[in-house]
Amino acid sequence: MTKINSTPFKDQKPGTSGLRKKVKHFQQAHYLENFVQSVFNIFDSCKNKTLVLGGDGRFYNKEAIQIILRMAAANEFKKIIVGQNGLLSTPAASLLIRKYQTDGGIILSASHNPGGPDADFGIKFNSANGGPAPEKITEVIYKNSLEISHYFSCESQAVDISKIDKIKLQNTEIEIIDSVIEYADLMESIFDFPIIRSSIKTGSLHLCFDAMHAVTGPYAKEIFVKRLYATEDSVINKQPSEDFNGGHPDPNLAHAEQLLEVMQSNHAPDLGAASDGDGDRNMILGRNFFVTPSDSLAIMTANAHYIQEYKSGPCGVARSMPTSRAVDIVAEKLGIDCYETPTGWKYFGNLLDANKITFCGEESFGSGADHIREKDGIWAVLFWLNLLAVKKKSVKEIVHNHWKTFGRHYYERHDFEAIDSNLANNVMETLNKKLANLANQTFDSYVVNNAYNFSYIDPVDNHTTHNQGIVIEFGTIARVIFRLSGTGTEGATIRVYLEQYEHDTELQHQEVSTYLAPLAKIAMEISEIITITGRSNASVIT
Ligand code: G16
């Protein structure tokens, strides 16, 4: 074991989902090591501790795994469970932490951000419940990173993680396991594979899944092709690549172009779906039809009883604050609780552990349930496949019927990316200053009835989180929300969320941007984004 002296980096505060920076930033001497030691230092002693380790396979994944294994051995961990070739989707890592009751796990991913030597890398710690470490732990990690003076490592040749095996590195056992099988088994235990398989075999259900050259390729092949008999070409972009084949592994209408083309063609399959870099996000499409993530959560909740595993209905649901309120209406009708949390999957962990919720979801293309403690892209696709196989209706019909019953929440997110941080902070400060005087002000025909900076008190442990975004409500019908992203790696990203409820079935089929245009104009006016940042348009609209 070698003790290596180091000095703190001041920028290792975990964001919405761990530490995300440019690869080159991580490659600075001692940078990754400092953060990893700061994680290890949350344990009084690492002896008798076991961790899961894996990542989405992006550039620097392989090197980082070797660095972490050497450090784990030097810190005298009992055991590290590593995905073969260093690959684990985020949901699979969460499952393994829970299944093997480890003390947590380290996941290497920058999620939906691009990969490659000039792109992004990330690392996050998940706790023993399988979920992203809650704030009280990330705060300790950050504090450790500011006080660090040394880390431990050891001399060793690269550990061969290409084969299923058990190896000793000093006194630490390294177990290399299949990255896919146990996750696929879990999915098979939740969903009705025979009914999905039979619909696929008889040709009444066709799927196109876009793995976006990211980690889900091998999972999709095992589950959709091998176990559910979908044709080989039902999974596209299935070969994981270190730079996602030059693409942006973000499953949305802006980045999943090939899938979109398939779903708009004359022979489009019944369900189109995509996942992101690390497999926790999902996008659901019907033939020439997009399902917003917020609607997807509401529809899952309303239709849970069609899926055997959830036949008695969810015990409760949760959504992040900027996610549309579509699920709230369903929850009210079902008579179950609906929680509103800050953005970040970590805030769902306590609610899931306390059995207060079964499903949770976010506008940022994330949905999941109580089977693990991460959002789960393939789980969501299987949910929809199972639903289509049972209901024998198209995606579009299911969504339209949902709107007819519950009303439609028109929804759009406008991202202003890579803004100078000072200017972005200026926008948020301007909004904060205006909050006190916004109530009762009229913009067009919209009257503000409430304006606030969102705070959250965790109902399980009473931990309070402040400053989670500015919300401006126009009655119960419409909202605009502003917050700074916590996942970007370049300057700051301002997210503007627009939402408006439409109960009139005659008005539920308008073009989204047109319908929301008046609200978008008001959001620009109140926030002064254009004047302050000099940007007249959002970089991406989803
Ligand atoms: C992460 C978090 C999500 C969050 C998303 C966007 O997802 O786990 O909870 O909604 O980032 O966060 P922000 O708006 O702060 O950029 P992922 O898939 O990137 O890990």
- Taking the CA of residue 90 as reference, the ligand 1 atom at the shortest distance is 20
Nearest CA, atom 3, ligand 1: 344
Query: What is the reported pLDDT for 490?
Result: 83
Residues 192, 217 contacting (CB under 8 angstroms) = no
Q: How far is the CA of 230 from the centre of ligand 1 (A)?
A: 31
Atom 4, ligand 1: residue with shortest CA distance:
344
pLDDT of residue 1 exceeding 90:
no
What whole-number distance in Å separates Cα of residue 373 and Cα of residue 390? Answer: 27
Of 173, 168, 138, 155, residue with least CA distance to 4: 155
Residue 231 in tokens: 């044709």
User: Among 131, 14, 91, 143, which residue's Cα sits nearest to residue 379?
Assistant: 91
pLDDT at 488 over 90: no
Q: Whose CA is nearest to atom 14 of ligand 1?
A: 485
Residues 307 and 190: their CA atoms lie apart, in Å, by 9
For ligand 1, pick from 487, 490, 539, 542 the residue to mutate: most ligand atoms within 8 Å of CB. 487
Atom of ligand 1 nearest to the CA of 488: 16
User: CB under 6 Å to ligand 1: residues?
Assistant: 16-17, 111-112, 276, 280-281, 320, 343-345, 362, 364, 366, 485-487, 495
CA distance 30 to 8: 9
Pocket test for ligand 1, best of 345, 416, 428, 494 (most atoms within 8 A of CB): 345
- Ligand 1 atom closest to Cα of 362? 10
What number does the ligand 1 atom closest to the CA of 280 have? 18
Q: What is the mean pLDDT of the chain?
A: 97
Q: Which helix (H) or strand (E) holds 174?
A: strand 172-177
Measured CA to CA in angstroms, residue 88 lies from 216, 293, 302 at distances of 9, 24, 31
Q: How far apart are CA 162 and CA 178, in angstroms?
A: 10
297, two tokens: 């959560």
User: Which residues contact residue 185 at a Cβ distance below 8 angstroms, ignoring those fewer than 6 apart?
Assistant: none
Hey, which residues does 209 pair with through a beta bridge?
Answer: 235, 273
More confident residue, 413 or 254: 413
CA 318 to CA 351: how far, in whole Å?
8
DSSP H or E stretch at residue 362: strand 359-362
By CB atoms closer than 10 A (0-12, 13-18, 19+), residue 91 is: buried
To test the pocket of ligand 1, the residue of 343, 367, 481 to mutate (highest count of ligand atoms within 8 Å of its CB) is 343
Q: Closest ligand 1 atom, CA of 110?
A: 19
Give the pLDDT confidence of 489-513 residue by residue, as tens digits.
889 999 999 999 999 999 999 999 9
What integer pLDDT is reported at residue 19 of this predicted model? 97
Residue 367, both tokens: 């949905």
The pLDDT value recorded for residue 197 is: 98
Q: Are strands 2-5 and 50-55 parallel, antiparallel or unpaired?
A: unpaired
At 536, the pLDDT band (50, 70, 90 cuts) reads: confident
pLDDT of residue 93: 98
Q: How far apart are CA 115 and CA 111, in angstroms?
A: 9
Residue 236 confidence (pLDDT): 97
- CA of 472 from ligand 1 middle (Å) equals 22
Note the maximum CA span of the chain.
71
Across the range 18-38, mean pLDDT stands at 97
Tens of pLDDT, residue by residue over 228-279, are 999 999 999 999 999 999 999 999 988 999 999 999 999 999 999 999 999 9
Distance of alpha carbon 290 from alpha carbon 301, whole angstroms:
18
Backbone angles phi, psi at 540, to 5 degrees: -140, 140
Query: How confident is the model at residue 313, as a pLDDT?
Result: 96
What was the pLDDT predicted at 127?
A: 97
Chain segment 55-71, per-residue pLDDT in tens: 999 999 999 999 999 99
Residue 189 tokens read as 């235990």
Whats the size of the chain, residue-wise?
542
Q: pLDDT at position 486, please?
A: 85
Q: pLDDT at residue 6 above 90? A: yes
Question: Which residues have CB under 8 Å from 362's CB, separation 6+?
Answer: 293, 319, 320, 322, 323, 343, 345, 375
Stated as kind and residue range, the H or E segment containing 205 is none
Ligand 1 centre distance from Cα of residue 169 (Å): 35
Ligand 1 center to 16 CA (angstroms): 6
Report CA-CA distances (Å) from 174 to 75, 81, 83, 108, 415: 14, 6, 10, 17, 42
Rg (CA), the chain: 23
Interval between CA 375 and ligand 1 midpoint (Å): 10
d(CA 536, CA 539): 10
Residue 16 has pLDDT above 90, yes or no: no
Domains of the chain: 2-179 (3.40.120.10), 182-406 (3.40.120.10), 408-541 (3.30.310.50)
How far apart, in whole angstroms, are the C-alpha atoms of residue 480 and residue 438? Answer: 13
Considering the candidates 94, 111, 153, 234, report the single residue annotated as catalytic.
Answer: 111
145 belongs to the catalytic site: no
Closest CA to 362 of 386, 389, 342, 384: 342
Residue with tokens 């979109």: 260
**Which residue in this structure is represented by tokens 């306590």?**
350
Residue 314, CB-side half-sphere exposure with 13 Å CA sphere: 34
Q: Which residue in the block uniquely carries the two structure tokens 């932490």?
A: 97
- Tens of pLDDT, residue by residue over 431-468, are 999 999 999 999 999 999 999 999 999 999 999 999 99
